[in-house]
Amino acid sequence: MDFDRVLDEIGEFGKFQLTNYLLICLPVFFGAANSLSYVFTAGVPNYRCFVPNCDDPHQPNYDESWMHYAVPGKTDSNGIFTPEQCKIFIQNNMTMSRGYSVPTFEECSPEMFTSKEDECSRWVFDKSEKTIVEEVGTMHFLGIVSGSFIFGVLADRYGRKIVLILSILFMSITGIGQALSGDYITFIVFAYLNAVGTSGVYPLAFILGVEMVGRSKREMSGNVLNYFYALGEAAVGLVAWLSGNWVTVQLAVSAPPLLFALYYWIVPESVRWLLAKKHTHKAGRIIKRAAKVNGVVLSDSILATFVDNEDGMSDSKEGMVGQSEKPPSQIAVMKEALKSKTLMIRFVILIYNWITNAFVYYGLSLNSTSLSGNKYLNYALVCLIEIPGYTLAWIAMNKIGRRWSLGLSLLLCAVTCCTGAFIDADLIWAVVSLFLVGKLGITISFSVLYTYSAEMIPTVIRSAGVGALSTMARFGAMMAPFVPLLGLYVKPLPLILFGILSLFGGITAFLFPETLKKKLPDTVEEAENLGKTDNDIELQSSSFKES
């Protein structure tokens, strides 16, 4: 059965599809929130050494009036004192060899301390913002890599809907476990498992959403999912701003998705998957329900197709296969591609661009909390700027082509990042504005790169090729959590690094052939000849998504 023909009759995006599509968008919101919640749940609060004889051993406060003569530190031009985090002044009446004497002073005073320093073994944290100190970003992306493979295989075998629900519930339960962890090891294990669950939410929702709409609505459906993803990312910053407590943040993004268990009875399975698995009767029931909700009466030809497929689909398929020429195997095409110098150079450049895009994309999101001003607002703005980014990517790809869209967006990111690195930090709005434009550029670039890569790879190895590129991108994502640490040594270093990598990516993007309105390459030869001929037929915007 040609499901696109059915959609032409019942409506490409009728009331039935709209309702179910919006239901699918909601898990994406929480999936995005879980994906970047570690920005705040693993943040580093202000802390200093515990000062015996001065700090209350049961309820110490971070900010004390005597702190400047009890703990080494620096005072800035505004008179704000910042204590060192691992050193303390030795007291007159005690030896600081990891042990403390019995107090002899009734109150903390300058006379208690010498000018000699020693390391401490106990700390006081700024309790106005309770977070976890340890960095878990890399473990998160390891979980994403693991889960992407697992849920992809399960979805092809057992169905999109059931595996999507399982991934949501797994994400929710492990996220709650993460919030309730009593020690670092438990927290890190749950952080990894939470990432495994999170990894299945967006791609499965994307597939389920795209497979339920018609040809002309597929790009739109992908964009709307991206909008919900951006809103979910931004929501994390808002919750962290309001609560200031990492446990509250994690529970807020993890507990509500438990309600999505109800989707088992509400959201239908992918009709395309059911037809591919020859579950024609189940597919027919969903199509009839969709037609009823959309107010459409199915034609006799469609109803007859149901009967024909249900009674003799297997025989028909076998006859068609027997009459057609057997296509080349994936292994054979892959070997041929590896021998092609043109495709190998192109693939190496693609790998660099995927790693760079992931590194800069996630790096900017993480580094936003280090900007001057309100770190929660900065983070939210950096996430929300993705919404116009996805829209501009869609417009640019169809107006000026893939190559110029990718190259110019990366160069835009490079220029704004390098410029922002040398702007006076006191010019908060100038710094934040340039940072946002940089994130806009990398969002456009990343969005274009997904489509562009698929359009340059031969059909038989397209899914494997894009999958390999996506896996390589995770290495860039795994390095991103460490970028803010560079700013501790040289403040503008993260932005300079983002700018240089984006600049090189933008330059190399112009080495790619243009694929706008070009036929998707089915063979290695056609892929090599991209950009060399003008007689290619117009490309259907959604054709690569089903390969």
DSSP code, position 326: P
Query: Residue 120: how many CB atoms within 10 A of its CB?
Result: 20
Instruction: At 157, list the tokens.
Output: 């075998």
- Phi/psi region, residue 186 (left: phi>0; alpha: psi -120 to 50; beta: rest), is alpha
Buried b or exposed e, range 168-187, using 16+ CB within 10 angstroms: bbbbbbbbbbbbebeeeeeb
Q: How far apart are CA 532 and CA 119, in angstroms?
A: 67
Q: How far apart are CA 306 and CA 297, in angstroms?
A: 15
Query: Is the C-alpha dihedral spanning 380, 385, 386, 391 positive or negative?
Result: positive
pLDDT tens, residue by residue, 524-546: 888 888 877 544 434 333 333 33
Q: Compare 545 and 450 and report the one with higher pLDDT.
A: 450
Instruction: At 300, list the tokens.
Output: 């006799």
Task: Please calculate the CA angle 448-332-159 and round it to the nearest 5 degrees.
Answer: 60
Lowest mean pLDDT among 118-132, 278-292, 497-511: 118-132
Instruction: At 118, list the tokens.
Output: 């020693």
Determine the 3-state secondary structure of 189 from DSSP.
Answer: helix
Residue with tokens 């597919």: 283
Give all domains of the chain, ordered by start, each with its CATH number: 1-41+135-314 (1.20.1250.20), 47-125 (no CATH), 327-547 (1.20.1250.20)
Look up the pTM and report it. 0.70
The secondary structure element, H or E, covering residue 232 is: helix 218-243
CA 420 from centre of chain: 24
Q: How far apart are CA 23 and CA 219, in angstroms?
A: 18
Instruction: At 428, list the tokens.
Output: 């908060």
**273-277, 282-286, 451-455, 484-488: range with highest mean pLDDT:** 282-286
In the prediction, which pLDDT does 297 show? 83
107 Cβ contact list (under 8 Å, min separation 6): none
**39-48, 243-252, 381-390: range with highest mean pLDDT:** 381-390
In the prediction, which pLDDT does 389 show? 93
Confidence of residue 95 (pLDDT cuts 50, 70, 90): very low
Q: Compare 403 and 431 and report the one with higher pLDDT.
A: 403
DSSP code, position 460: G
Confidence of residue 507 (pLDDT cuts 50, 70, 90): very high
In the prediction, which pLDDT does 133 show? 39
Confidence of residue 314 (pLDDT cuts 50, 70, 90): very low
Instruction: At 517, list the tokens.
Output: 């309105």
Q: How far apart are CA 510 and CA 519, in angstroms?
A: 20
Query: Residue 380: how many CB atoms within 10 A of its CB?
Result: 21
Amino acid type, 75: T
Residue with tokens 């992407």: 148
Q: How would DSSP label each residue in 333-398?
A: HHHHHHT-HHHHHHHHHHHHHHHHHHHHHHHHHHHGGGSSS-HHHHHHHHHHTHHHHHHHHHHHHH
DSSP code, position 327: P
Lowest mean pLDDT among 171-175, 228-232, 452-456, 481-485: 481-485
Residue 490, burial from CB neighbour count under 10 angstroms (0-12, 13-18, 19+): exposed
Query: Residue 486: how many CB atoms within 10 A of its CB?
Result: 18
Q: How far apart are CA 396 and CA 441, in angstroms?
A: 12
